[in-house]
Each structure stands twice: as structure tokens, then as C-alpha cells.
Chains A and B, each alone.
Chain A
């Protein structure tokens, strides 16, 4: 909801600054943004009563003297003998109809009405609809205007069932499905109650005789209808959150006043009926209890003062919330009102000692933690995947309202998620991928069943060092890895065939999936893992990763000097350049037949964060490395002449 600052201060004689009002609205819990002197309010769903100028003023009244309501028509009004039948009094316990006839001439808009359209940059419609929209903005009460000359039969309000056609004021004709609360003229739906009126009976610029409907609808009957029929409706938004059931007379008199300011009124009649009696449920007034909830020492007078300014009536032992505060039911609600007025930030924190009877707990996650640690120590990365999948599997659970057709079911295993993760990384030039995930999966049977499973996937080189570089991951690698955690573990990983995958690699994909509980009894949970615990100063600062391809170069060195051997390693492994992603030694060999000559293979991976790296960039860096390394005593690069 957008509210102009200048409209608010029309009702606040002290004219506080925009910052003052903004600060007070925040203190009261009314979140908003301010731009060009407009408050763009983001109100919580329990505060439908604040969706108007008057609503915000009612809350601001605790800080500023306010004019609570605009000028109203205070003359006599004749009763309106309307042909109306309310067949849904529970859904609409309070309703009024106002009939106004005016002369031909309508003055240009002035005052608040003019400001509403100009300051909020809104489009005008027709005289009565424009006033109706303004009244909703100022008072929070939606009204609906029918052209009186277009109503010829009895109007009824009823909950209709079955298929009806309805053409709203805005948008295309719709089919009403299921139960709907609607106003009918004969058998025709003329208004989808609380949502939007119909085109057939709507006002136009020619309308000089209007019937203004002003009603209270049960929020539950309105809820969800505007979404169901894709109708964007300010009225529905307000009715869903609840409006003031007792405001009709004041609102309609305000309506008349604005009409009177712009046209000559020939006739006014009003119909008003309460089908159910409104009662405000009193809450016991117990200032000790209120202070106990908040942890404060606010005296009774101050509490009374705060509440009275918010429109509450108070006796010695009872608090009566005003009719617009349907959200206030308990002492906790009252405590929140007091806290808002005091300011949450003005309540002093008070320490407490947490004591729990139920504090003696073994760490039930030791098994999971020790498996995680073992895998991490061996180069595996944990991933987390969301559970939504496209295809149904036996016993999979269906999502009734999926985000899209590719996410209709919940996965019953982790395999496809982990295969996707592996292929994603292979496409990003990773020649060694080791991943795992631990997750619950759910199955449907007579009841919902849960399993916590571990999925491990790996493929490519065993490691990035001279011992493991040439070894490829196979089933034995994974079997031995888990046996090194506990020798008794018997597992049977499988090979995932690559034929059906979008992949060019020939490396075997090894996959294991096992229920975590099946790994109990091997002593894993008894191991004292050196699990890494994040401390507050160990949060790294993330550096955005590159989305560009990398480029790889290998260098093979011949070394014939002890010191040169160590100097070369020191230089090359510590070489830094912003275009170098990784350097490691992938080959080491002592040629005993050639005076113990050492062969050292080094792999250098280049990558730019801003563009695809060029050969020229790579060659320039390689040149620096080559020049330096061959200057080290006893080091040469076969095939490269020393300059």
C-alpha cells in the first residue's frame, strides 16, 4: 500500500517531518520504504486495520495529536427501502446501502480527492468510482458503486454453488467454480462479493444516481478468491485481512461529504442492517501479567494511557479492544501493543540461565559425522541437492502443486542427483570428481516412510600427486576407502554406465548408496574423529569463481643437482599469478641408469575470471616460469635450449 506523506500530515496538526513519521511507523512495526515522499507500506497480515490513512493515524495517535477522521456529512438521511435479501448473514453480518442522486454538473476534483489522484499518479475512472477508491484509501473500508438505473430487480447476497458466468469490471469474463459469495440481480451475478463488481451494473461518467454498497465480509470467505480467479483487487486484500464491522455510518457520511464538495445532491437515502450483533470480547486487565510477559516495570497508568491512545476502552479490570482490532484477543496481544508503544528497542535485555531437564544427550550423529570426516579427509566434497525430480519411481511421493512438471515427485534415491553433479563438474574440466551426499528420502506406502541414506559418487584420477595421478578410480578404490574406515564393512558399489549419459569421458563412474543405519555395528561411531569445527574467525571470505574454461600446460624437468631439485620445487609450487588456478607435481622419477637424474612433471592450470584465457596469456606466464626454472643450477627442460 502506498501512502503519500502529505496526505498523512493533513490529519496531523503538528506536521511532523517525514523522518519522524517514518521512525515512528518502524517503531510500531509498520515496515516501509520511502521514496519521493511516498510511504510504500509492507504491513504484517494481522494489521489489515492499518491499510488506510485513518488506520495508520490510529496507530500514530500514540505519538502525535491527530484528526482521526475526515469531515463528514452530518445532516439527516432518509431510510432507503431497497429490495435486498441477505441469504448469507454469517458471511456478511453487517451491510449498508447508500443511494445518492446528483445534478448533472460535477466540479473538477479538489482537496484530498484531487491530491489522491495527482500525488499517487493514479488514473481516474468516473466520479462515483473515484470517490469509492479514495474512501478505501482514506478509511480502509472498500465500497462498491452500482449505477442505480441499471438495477431493476431484487438484489440478493448468497453463497452460490455451481457454474455461473461473471464479467468483472476489469478483465475478461470468468466462470465461477465451486462455492462463491455473490450479489445477484435475479439469476445474474452482478458482484463477486468482496472481490470485484460486475461490468453490467457498473457506474460510468453518465451515472447520476448511485447505490453505494458498504459491507463487512468474513475474511475466510474472501480468502484465496482473487488468486483463484486471477483478479487483482484492493478490496479483496482488505477484506481478507479484516475491516472494521462498525464503520459503515461514518464511512458513508464521509462519502456523502466528498460528493457534496463536488456536486449538488438531490437526494440521499440509506439502508443499514446488522444481521449478527458485534461484540468485543474483553480481556482481563492485569498489569502484573503484562509486565511479566515483557520483563518490564511499566505502571498501570502508563499502560492505560498507551492503550487509550490506541483506541482501547478500559475499566478497572477489563480491556475492550476497538472494533477494528480483530487481532487482539489475549494478554500477549496487549503486551505487544504496550511493547510497540514503548519501543522494542527500549526494553532492556535481561539475562536468563537456560536450564533444561532433558539435557543428557548422546551425540546421535557421531556415525554420520565420522563418515563425513573420513570422506572429507580423502578428498570428497559434500553436496546438497533438492529432492524434486521429474520421474516417478516405485513408492515415490507426488507433489500436488509442483513448481513445474520437471519437479513433480520426491526422489527416492540420490543417484541421479549425484550423477548430475558429477557430469556438471566434468564439463567444467575436472578430471577427478569425488562427491557425497547424506539425505533423508521418503517413500509412500500406507504411511510415509523415511530413510537416511549416504550416496557416494567418484570418477577420474585418484589424486593430484605423483603417486595417484596416473591411477584411475575404480570399484576397489571405493571399497578400500571404506574398509580403511572400518575393515569389517562389506559394500558393493556399482559402475554407472556412461552410454546413456551426456558425457565424453571414458573414466568409470563408481557409485555407492547405502542406508546410514546399515553402517552401524562396525565401530564407526566409536571413532574419535577430528571433525573440523568452524570458529567465528575461520569463516573464509569467498572469492567469486570463474565461469570461463581453463587451460592446462605440463612441464617436464630434468634435474641433476640436489639443491636445484629443492629450489625448483620451492619456486614452482609457490609461484603465484592471478591467472593460475592450480599447480601440482604429477610425476617424479629417479633414473638410476643415468646418474640418478630426476624427472619431475609439473601441471599448471590457467583460468581467467573475466574472459576465456588466451594462448598468448598462458605462453607469457610459461615463459617466465621456464626462464626462471632453467636458471636454477642443475635444472633443464628437455627439448628447450637454455637461452
Chain B
């Protein structure tokens, strides 16, 4: 015997899509840095050699400027930006210290293999004020990495070389399997760069850092192959709701 009364139709659960996981991580980093006092500035992906290299103290002889490392476009005086640092140069030329800015977005290097892509994403930050020190930089980097990987994460600073910072450092975290993983590059803004931006380097100093968004995303989500992010596979994207 049927005993059907009025029944509710099945629930129509609205199937949502998602923001791309790389943009989710990028936004996360920008929001985190915004809470620390940085604000985001945008800039073009096609840059003049002047802004991408010269202003950042990357000399004509630096290997990064060679045709096998950098994509040159238009009349060769322009490149696909190899980092988001030119955005900071434009900001320093436009605004007076103190200034605290982040620049985020796509960057390009002439690489294409299992671990490198010709296009990837960076989030960089710069803070220029009086008396900014390497010790300040260390504290800020600790804050960033504690936010990302927890307060117990073990952090290691190593001397490194970037033409636009001096002293320069690369920072590693100790992974669960006991191996050190390189996580970001940073340093004290080279006074030459400040002077290029008409900032008095005797009065002001700055700190700068750069994070690879894909690197952070791979670690946080546990994605092992960087290429997975760019296959546009719905089964993959569906996990990042």
C-alpha cells in the first residue's frame, strides 16, 4: 500500500567551482602581508630592460640577462619580466619612504622541464624606512614562515647572492623528512638600487623578500608535480574548492 504524502524534492546542492589554487595561495600571501602593513601594487608583465635589470643593479654581464634565461620581446629592449621587482622600482620612484609594498603576479624565465615552467608566480615585498636592518628582515621572515608553516617550523638563513640586495640570504625550512627545503630569497636592499630610485641611501635602508607561489602551493597542498597546476584538469581543480 502506498503511504506517500507530500515529500520534499531532493536537495539541489549547488555545485560550486573554484578559484585557481595558485591564485588562492597568492591571495593568501597578499592578505597575510597586508595584515603586516604591506599594500599591493600592480605592474606590467612586459618590462623594459632598464626596469627589469638595470635599475636593479643587474649588470649587462649577469647571466640572467642572456638569451637562454630571459624571454626578449618586441625590439629586444623589452623582456617578459623575470621577477616582480620592477613593480617595486616603479613604486619607489613614485612614492617617498617609508613605504611597504608587495607585488605579485606572473613572471617568466626560459625554462621548461619537470620542475621549472616558463611562466610562474611570485609574491615579493619591500619595506624602505630609516634604520631597517638585517635583524629586522630576519624577524619579518620568521613571522611569514611561522604563519605559513606553524610556530615550530625550523628556519635556516644562508648567505646568497642577488644583485639587488646586499647582504642577501636564502631561507630554508626543515621538512618532515628531515631535509632542508629552500623557501624564499631575501636581503637588505642594495643602496645602489635605492640611489637608482632617487632615495637617499645614507638616510634610508630597506628589506626585500620574494616567495615563489608555486613552491608554497606545492608544499601546502602536497602537490608533487608543478605541471599539474596548469593542465586545467577539472578533476584536479575540483579539489581546491
A interface, CB within 8 angstroms of B: 26-29, 31, 44-47, 219-220, 223-224, 227, 240, 292-296, 330, 332-333, 335-336, 339-340, 344-345, 347-359, 361, 364, 372, 375-388, 397-403, 407, 410, 421, 424-425, 428, 430, 433-435, 440, 442, 444, 448, 450, 463-467, 532-534, 536, 539-546, 559-562, 565-566, 569, 585, 588, 590, 595-598, 600, 634
Contacts and interface: CB of A to CB of B under 8 A. Distances in A.
Given A354-B100, A356-B99, A386-B118, A379 B15 contact: yes
A287 B31 CA distance: 38
Given A355-B37, A397-B74, A424-B232, A336 B5 contact: no
A344 B134 CA distance: 9
Interface in B194-241: 205, 220-224, 229-240
Given A45-B62, A384-B23, A358 B135 contact: no
Considering residues B25, B71, B223, which has the most beta carbons from chain A within 10 angstroms of its beta carbon?
A: B71
B131 interface: yes
Interface of B: 2-5, 7, 9-10, 12-20, 22-25, 27-28, 31, 36-40, 42, 44-46, 60-63, 66-68, 71-74, 76, 78, 80, 95-101, 110, 112, 117-119, 127, 129, 131-136, 138-140, 142, 147-148, 156-161, 166-169, 188, 190-192, 205, 220-224, 229-240
B139 A401 contact: no
Given A463-B15, A465-B13, A350 B139 contact: yes
Contacts of A402: 71
Q: What is the predominant secondary structure among interface residues of chain B facing chain A?
A: mixed
Given A330-B191, A384-B22, A410-B73, A352 B139 contact: yes
A295 B132 CA distance: 8
Nearest to A550: B235
Q: Nearest 6 pairs between A and B by C-beta? A: A29-B159, A295-B135, A295-B133, A354-B37, A44-B161, A336-B167
Contacts of B76: 400
A220 B61 contact: yes
Given A466-B10, A536-B148, A29 B158 contact: yes
B112 A403 contact: yes
A466 B238 CA distance: 21
Contact of B3 (A354, A378, A561, A588): A561
A247 to B, nearest CB: 21
A45 B136 contact: no
B157 A350 contact: no
Given A333-B166, A348-B135, A562-B7, 4 more contacts: A292-B133, A355-B100, A357-B97, A542-B221
A466 B9 CA distance: 9
25 contacts: A224-B66, A296-B134, A349-B139, A350-B133, A352-B127, A354-B38, A355-B37, A356-B98, A364-B42, A381-B18, A383-B232, A399-B72, A400-B71, A401-B67, A425-B232, A428-B233, A440-B44, A448-B74, A539-B220, A542-B223, A545-B236, A596-B2, A598-B7, A634-B2, A634-B3
B9 A588 contact: yes
A102 B157 CA distance: 52
A590 B2 CA distance: 13
Contact of B71 (A358, A372, A401): A401
Contacts of B136: 295, 349-352
A562 B23 CA distance: 46
Contact of B17 (A293, A296, A382, A467): A382
A350 to B, nearest CB: 4
B124 to A, nearest CB: 15
B2 A401 contact: no
Given A336-B166, A442-B45, A467 B73 contact: no
Contacts of A380: 17
A382 B67 contact: no
A47 B60 contact: no
B95 A403 contact: no
A588 B160 CA distance: 64
A430 B238 CA distance: 12
B134 A376 contact: no
Contact of A358 (B19, B39, B118): B39
Contacts of B39: 356, 358-359, 361
A597 B220 CA distance: 50
A428 B2 contact: no
Contacts of B220: 539
A481 to B, nearest CB: 12
Given A359-B39, A466-B9, A541 B131 contact: no
Contacts of B233: 424-425, 428, 545
A480 B142 CA distance: 48
B9 to A, nearest CB: 5
Given A382-B19, A542-B221, A332 B190 contact: yes
Contacts of B231: 424
Contacts of B27: 533-534
A372 B74 contact: no
A379 B135 CA distance: 47
B101 to A, nearest CB: 8
B140 A352 contact: yes
